[in-house]
Structure 1
Amino acid sequence: MRRTLHVALSFLLFLFAVLPAAFAETKASDIEEKKKEIKERDKQILQIEREKKLTLEEKRELMKQLNDMKSRLASLNEQVYRTEQKLNKSERRLQELEKRIAEREALLKNRLRFLYQRGEMYYLETLLDSDSFGDFLSRLDLVRKLIRADRRLLDAHKEDHKQAEAEKASIERDLKERKRLAAEAERLHKRLVKEYKQYEKQLADLEKKQEHLEEINERERKEVRRLIAQKMKEAAEKDKQQAEAKDGKFLWPVKGGIITSEYGYRRNPVTGAYKLHEGIDIGAPLGTAIRAVADGKVIESRPASGYGYIVVVDHGGGVSTLYAHVYPQDVTVSIGQSVSRGQVIAAVGNNGQSTGPHLHLEVIKDGRTVDPKPYFR
């Protein structure tokens, strides 16, 4: 079970060793991909702006038509009202004429009935009552004039009635036409209102779509800025490490690890012997990655008495580093392999004479151990 766990940890450490560069490349491609997507959405937003502009122009034109139609509809309704008033007046006039004609016809009928009932003796009596022949002629002429006057008046009333009926019919036709035009204008107005509402909905939809795209772009731009900042930070860290490497400074081998025992004479916590502690102990959780402090070549990878298992890397110039208390299954390099600064080579273990998980690191200069701390300053 323990061996299986160590194998799994070794595999994970190997992944940690090879993934950083690939991850950095992925982040770089992610930035470019996000920029490309942002640019594409910007194009969509620009197209939406064009559509909005066109829709607004069409909406303004439609509003002008609506206002014109509203004015026309109001004018037609006013004309309908006035024509109805005119028709009412015409109907009242016609009713008055009909009443007067009826009265005149009744008067003539009564007069004719009276004459018919009295017969020709009425005329003779009227004429014989004359005082003179001149009076006789005058009375005869008066009777004739009276009858002709009644007839002319009746004919005039009938002509007025005929004209009134024609006028009423004309007004009714005019009213019918105006109502038709008003109804048509009302239908057109409703259609324009419906189209106007459609334009409003279209504009609202475009606004919503644009806001959505702008929100996405804002988030993505922030993410791009974050990734760029992270990339710059990583580049700066890399530059710093390279500068430190050029200056001869070592990379701290255990991220987050702290020194738990210094270089120098001390009493061995396991054996109790007082002797030189030839390196520094860096405490860290079991399985924490151990990185090469500088470029070099692996010259040893083997069990060692008291140290459990060690890996030694030669950095040239008579300087090498030793990493102890690791488990062999956690070692990710082999003898003769070149390693680069920061490359994971093993994991923190608790192998050999050890009271807890830690890395024992030694710096060997010209065959003798020296205090490692100055190499990290």
Structure 2
Amino acid sequence: MKKIAAGLAVMLLAVTIFQPSDGYAKKTSVAEIDKQLKQLQKEVQEAKAQQEKAASQTQEAQHYKNKTNLNLQYVLQQVDQVKGKMTEISTQISDTEQSLNVTATELDKAEARVASREEVLGSRVRLMYTDGAVSYLDVLLSSTSFADFLDRADSLKMIVDQDQELLVQHKLDKQTVIEKKQELEGQYAQAKQLYTSLEQQRSLLKEKEAEKQELIAFYDKQIQESDDLSEEQNEKLVKLASERSALETQKDKIKAEEAARRAAAAKAEAARRAAAAAKKAAAAASKGSSSSSSSSSDTGYSGGDGPFLLPVGSARISSPYGPRTHPITGEKGKVHTGVDFAVPQGTNIHAADSGTVILAEWWSGYGYCVIIDHGGGVWTLYGHIRKGGLRVSAGDKVNRGDVVAESGSTGNSTGPHLHFEVRIDGKIVNPMPYL
């Protein structure tokens, strides 16, 4: 009995000597991990701020791109209208040129008629009016009778009237053709001036069109740069979440070791007290009493070693994993990183397997989101949770099938559903083989 008591005393002494120093080191490690976790949380907030800023820049650039597209459509409509007017004016110029050609032909004919009349008049002057007014008198005085005199007077009058009519018609022909030609030349000049003005307007519109195209290209570049920044920040968030998960695991391990040491110290203290009681009993009686041994129960949780539970039970898949046309931006070929289950608002979401919650908050385009670390680098992600629908917090331990949230439509979402992902070492994989 004395040997037993001596052995227990040695054990107690060993625990007393080594426990404080080791415990102090572990406490320091926990504090350091907490400091690192705090720094990680700060980096997470900064990454989220950058991601939100990039999303805001993308939205702003998309707004101005849409506005510029509308302006471009208006400019293109104006260009088409000006082109139509220029076609009409080109036809008008062509018709005016044809009219000018016709008028020029008519002028040539009129001038020929005038020349012909002038020749006739010249002949008459040479034949009858060589001596001016005296010729009229000679004609009349050479009459043989009064009747002949009257006939000659009538003939002279007819000739004079015809000559006057020829002269009047001659003047009218020349004046009409000249006026018509001047009118058509004025129309031609006006049409050419209008065509020139429209050509200048068309050139200005083409410059505006080029300017709008440059703006659209500029906004497209901004959108691409913002998307790249958002993707970069998303990768950073995944990396930070991995580091936080590793630190939490290390912290839990240290805490478990500290708990084990505390249990060992308690057990040693119990042994010391038992030894003291045994020593007292040995002194009081020859019959020793046996010390009672403590029993421990091992509690734990069973991990998922098979397919994951379907997080929302039987539900329709509204969008599978893989490339698709983005339902919001319309971008083609964008990889859908998970599986969407169409479920009503407020549907219970169950943990696909047991694990530790490493994120339960708003996370960029996922809206309110939960990420569970199942160990071995395996995560599951539950996105678009409704506002107020989170049922767990970061650091919580969950069992397979526990309700962790309620479905909703927060973040980049077109309607109530659950976005479910599986990630291995932070990288997305097709969730279907795991369900």
TM-score for both structures, normalised by structure 1: 0.56
Shift in Å at residue 133 of structure 1?
A: 6.2
Residues 48 and 206 in structure 1, CA contact (< 8 A), matched pair in contact too: yes
Aligned to 1:183: 196
Aligned to 1:201: 214
Aligned to 2:114: 101
1:81 matched to 2:94? The reply is yes
Aligned to 2:273: none
| Amino acid aligned to 1:72 | K
Shift in Å at residue 96 of structure 1?
A: 1.8
Shift in Å at residue 19 of structure 1?
A: 5.9
| 1:267-306 equivalences in 2 (<5 Å) | none
Tell me which structure has the larger Cα radius of gyration.
1
| Amino acid aligned to 2:97 | E
Aligned to 1:154: 167
| 1:158-169 equivalences in 2 (<5 Å) | 158-169=171-182
Aligned to 2:68: 55
Aligned to 1:308: none
Residues 127 and 139 in structure 1, CA contact (< 8 A), matched pair in contact too: no
Query: How many Å separate the matches in 1 of 2:115 and 2:59?
Result: 82
**Measured at CA, do residues 127 and 233 of structure 1 come closer, stay the same or move farther in structure 2, by a change above 3 Å?**
farther
| Amino acid aligned to 2:105 | R
Query: How many Å separate the matches in 2 of 1:30 and 1:121?
Result: 126
1:174 matched to 2:187? The reply is yes
1:217 matched to 2:227? The reply is no
SS at match of 2:129: helix
Residues 61 and 223 in structure 2, CA contact (< 8 A), matched pair in contact too: yes
Shift in Å at residue 97 of structure 1?
A: 1.0
Residues 143 and 152 in structure 2, CA contact (< 8 A), matched pair in contact too: no
Shift in Å at residue 25 of structure 1?
A: 2.6
| 1:1-377 equivalences in 2 (<5 Å) | 20-117=33-130, 134=147, 137-138=150-151, 140-246=153-259, 248=260, 317-318=267-268
Query: How many Å separate the matches in 2 of 1:295 and 1:201?
Result: 70
Shift in Å at residue 23 of structure 1?
A: 3.4
Overall identity of the aligned pairs, in %:
22
Query: How many Å separate the matches in 2 of 1:167 and 1:142?
Result: 37
Query: How many Å separate the matches in 1 of 2:171 and 2:99?
Result: 21
**Measured at CA, do residues 317 and 101 of structure 1 come closer, stay the same or move farther in structure 2, by a change above 3 Å?**
same
Unpaired runs of at least 5, structure 2: 1-27, 270-435
SS at match of 2:245: helix
Q: Let me know the Cα RMSD of the aligned residues.
A: 3.2
Residues 127 and 140 in structure 1, CA contact (< 8 A), matched pair in contact too: no
**Measured at CA, do residues 210 and 121 of structure 1 come closer, stay the same or move farther in structure 2, by a change above 3 Å?**
closer
**Measured at CA, do residues 139 and 225 of structure 1 come closer, stay the same or move farther in structure 2, by a change above 3 Å?**
same
| Amino acid aligned to 1:227 | L
| Amino acid aligned to 2:198 | A
| Amino acid aligned to 1:33 | E
Unpaired runs of at least 5, structure 1: 1-15, 249-293, 297-313, 320-377
Query: How many Å separate the matches in 2 of 1:127 and 1:68?
Result: 80
Shift in Å at residue 60 of structure 1?
A: 1.1
Query: How many Å separate the matches in 1 of 2:209 and 2:130?
Result: 80
Aligned length: 241
Residues 129 and 135 in structure 2, CA contact (< 8 A), matched pair in contact too: no
Shift in Å at residue 235 of structure 1?
A: 1.3
